Amino acid sequence: MDKQKLQDLLLDGEIKEFNNLVESNNGDVDLSGLRLRSIDLRKITFKDLNLEGAYLRASDLRGLDLSKANLKHASIKDAKIAGVLFPSNIDPEEIMLSLIYGTRLRAKELN
């Protein structure tokens, strides 16, 4: 799946078409390294989500289950995160630092 096409769909608000593409790829979504600033991601569907290094400033993530997502080195400054389930390998302090200062999330290696 072409990451640029996925990014363009999200930037244009074409969530239905985005979800159709994701479903045709068994729910695996690679959005690593993309700039997804100020995008409402609440209605995206996914099974495995890779957001490694993604720039999510001011994005709306409310209510998403990101517990199995790869958020290593992602930035969530000013994002809306109420009700988000974050991966267990990211400390709450890391989440707050990224939310307030825009630092990249550091994830612990899982054994």
| DSSP 8-state assignment for residue 80 | B
User: What is the predicted pLDDT for the residue at 111?
Assistant: 61
φ/ψ region of 33 (left if φ > 0, alpha if ψ in -120 to 50, else beta) reads left
DSSP of 3-59: HHHHHHHHHTT-HHHHHHHHHTTTTEEE-TT-B-TT-B-TT---SEEE-TT-B-TT-
pLDDT in tens, 46-69: 888 999 999 999 999 999 999 999
> 75 forms bridges with which residues in the sheet?
55
Distance of alpha carbon 36 from alpha carbon 28, whole angstroms? 18
pLDDT tens for each residue of 22-46: 999 888 899 999 999 999 999 998 8
